[in-house]
Amino acid sequence: MNTRLSYDIIGLTLFAGVILFGVPALFSYDGFELNTFSRYLSLAIVSMALALSWGTAGLLNLGQAATFGMGSYAMAMHLKLKASGDGLPDFMGWNNVETLPLIWGPFQSLTFTLLAGLLIPAAVGGLIAIFMFRARIAGVFVAIITLAFLVAFQLLVIEQQGLTGGQNGLTGLAQLVLFGWKIDIYSVSFYYMVGGCLVAALIFGLYLTHSKFGLVLRAIREDAERTRYFGYNVANYQTVIFCISAGLAGWAGMLYALVLEFASPTYMSVSFSLAIVIWCAVGGRESVLAAAVGAILVNLAEGRLSDVFVEGWHMILGVMFLVVVMFMPRGIYGLLVDAGRVLRRKPASTKEALPFDTPLNPKQES
Amino acid sequence: MDVVFNQAFAGLSIASILLIIALGLAIIYGTMGVINLAHGEFVMLGAYATWALQTYAGLGVVTALPLVFVAVAAVGWIIEKVIVQRLYTRPLDTILATWGIGIILQQAVRLGVGADSRFVSGPHWLSGNIEIGALVMSNYRLFVIAFSIMVLGATWLLMTRTEFGMKLRAVIQNRGISECYGIEAKNVYSVTFAYGAGLAGIAGALITPLFSTIPTMGTGLVVDAFLVVIVGGLGSLMGTAAAALLIGEVTALFSIVINDTLGRIAVLAGIILLIRFRPRGLFPSDIRH
């Protein structure tokens, strides 16, 4: 067991302790306060998912919100069907849809929904990844393709009103019944469920980053060409991490739809997608744990400050983001690492410092 | 058939605006590899500057153009000096930093001017239409098309016929060696960024009579303009022009066959395919990197 791993395990234990015991105690087990916090926790999952693809493998996915949205719609479709009983969902009537569309049918089943919310985003992410990485697309072009996909996907969801509820999204959802347990989202047990999902996702993420798989991904981030010369199939590694990241984002989306009790196309907007990038960057993209903490901190600040500065909040967000990108590119995590180094009186060596992003390698463009 | 002609004209009109926005982006991206997501906000600033000049100084859209150009270019110059210049070695980070700048500019306008839509009237002497058979062309849109061609010509002259253009091309080809020959690459970058921002400002001024002027107007435009740059190919002015024309026309003509939204989706899908198979764009320049 190396030191990095032991630090991460200590960090995760602390984090899990705070989330599972500290926060509920702080809000004196008040369901309504904890509901807000479970919203932050579900967003922490999508942020840590981005850290896997962006921080570990150097693939900046600006379309993370698309897979997140797929998950939230999967969950919302199931709950909408439950709420509509034997009839059609109400918005379909407004759009002159006579019979239940084919793709809605299977969402009657909870098992299918849970699998779909995880696997459909993963499959879509995988297809995009195969499409890009087989052609050795890298750097900025990954960001642009994923961004274009996000814009197209959001337009499609808004356009297909009869299927998706269009601009209004899916509202008026039923409560989820999970193995006979009717989930009240304002209960402490719901909070523990979301918190449990986050901790499980973090354990999985830490396991991945510390495995040999994670090591190869970091090698790809540093120099894809050289990793290829070592005989690794770079495209396959990139595709797998993209799939995992998209699947986790879908999972986060399902929880998010549960917390907010609706699914809306704004979950798939460009600004939401870049907000995920902001959380991840503020926390520190190299560590899944830091990315999750970043999401919670930024959203907590947004929740508290946007009451005080209703208009100015976005300004604060923009400035914060700019400062992080310019002066602390490794986020809070980077500050902690540097502080730790000073404490142990080790001079920061340039060898250890990671270059902040994958250089645009002209050889890979053509 | 009339529908097709009218849509073709609408496409030309979209293309002319896309061209001016994309030219600024293309120069910035081609020169320094900076993906400027704040470009849409430069367009928005141009639109608001035009509104302010019309409301408070009584200037028409066309008279205001030079002033708007200078004002937005100045904003771009300051942003380049203070922020973008520190990020040249980190191209992916420029996406994030310029997005942050965009949020700040948007919010500043929302706080300063207000979030509701502003109205700018077009010039009176361009108010009518020209009709050829069933084809109706608004004079103002014709003016915008002509103006965009002028801007393209001026930019081409600037790049190829002036000393600044020569320095710029030298820096694009090899920054290190150009600096050895005494070219101040930093200054070239600042001026280029300012010029690109100024062009965005002009685009903003020109679209005020056609679009509603709101703080978020730039966000949608920047994605489109950026796709034009990618499709056109890096560092190629004529490529950018051809791509703007192509995307404008395809969007307009698609919307007859299917509807507007599906047309846009089809164009986006086409662009994704294009980046996949020709990542250097349709008309890449021959500059070796």
Task: Give per-residue pLDDT as tens, B161-189.
Answer: 999 999 988 888 888 899 999 999 889 99
Contact B245/B257 with Cβ under 8 angstroms?
A: no
Q: Residue A271: which of B34, B100, B225, B212 has the closest Cα?
A: B100
**pLDDT, mean of each 10-residue run, chain A (366 residues):** 76 86 79 85 94 90 92 91 80 78 84 92 94 84 88 90 82 80 81 91 93 92 91 93 95 92 88 89 89 91 78 80 85 86 66 47 39
Range of the domain at A126: 3-269
The answer to whether residue A213 sits within a structural domain is yes
Domain around B204: 2-277
pLDDT at A350: 47
A326 neighbourhood in chain B, CB within 8 Å: 83, 86-87, 97
Sign of CA dihedral A46, A51, A56, A59: positive
For residue B137, list its beta bridge partners: B130
* Contact between chains at A145 and B272 (C-beta distance less than 8 A): yes
The proportion of chain B whose per-residue pLDDT surpasses 70, expressed as a percent, equals: 97
For residue B228, give the nearest of B76, B57, B19, B3 by alpha carbon.
B19
**Cβ pair B95:A143 closer than 8 A:** yes
Compute the distance between CA of residue A21 and CA of residue A19 in angstroms, rounded to an integer: 6
pLDDT (0 to 100) of residue B63: 86
> Does a structural domain hold residue A129?
yes
Alpha-carbon gap, residue A38 to A295, rounded angstroms: 12
Mean pLDDT of B110-121: 83
CATH label of the domain that carries residue B8: 1.10.3470
Alpha-carbon distance A58 to A49, whole Å?
Answer: 13
A-B Cβ pairs (cutoff 8 Å, strict): 127
Kindly determine whether residue B107 and residue A315, on different chains, have CB atoms separated by under 8 Å.
yes
What is the per-residue pLDDT for A106? 86
Answer yes or no: is A350 within a domain.
Answer: no
pTM for this prediction: 0.86
- Count structural domains, chain A: 1
CB A356 within 8 Å of CB B90: yes
What is the per-residue pLDDT for B135?
78
Nearest to A284 by CA among A272, A274, A292, A273: A292
Question: Chain B residues with CB inside 8 Å of A152's CB?
Answer: 264-265, 268-269, 272
The reported pLDDT for the residue numbered A154 is: 92
Q: Report CB contact under 8 Å: A326, B110.
A: no
Residue A165 lies in a domain: yes
Output B287 or B129, whichever has higher pLDDT.
B129
Whole-number mean pLDDT of chain B? Answer: 86
Answer whether residue B283 is part of any domain.
Answer: no
**CA pair distance B20, B147, nearest whole angstrom:** 9
In a domain, B110, yes or no: yes
The C-alpha of A115 sits at a distance from chain B's nearest C-alpha, in angstroms, of 27
DSSP B246: H
Q: How far is the C-alpha of B41 from the C-alpha of B203, rounded, in Å?
A: 11
Which pLDDT score is estimated for A2? 67
Residue A8 lies in a domain: yes
Tokens describing residue A59: 């693939």
- Optimal mutation site among A136, A144, A266, A356, interface B, most CBs of chain B within 10 A: A144
Q: Is position B285 within any domain?
A: no
Query: Is the sign of the CA dihedral A103, A105, A107, A112 positive or negative?
Result: negative
Q: Worst-scoring range by mean pLDDT, A118-122, A270-274, B155-159, B259-263? A: B259-263
Q: Out of B96, B102, B104, whose CB is closest to A319?
A: B104
Residue B273: the pLDDT is 87
pLDDT given at position B175:
86
d(CA A137, CA A294): 29
Structural domain count of chain B: 1
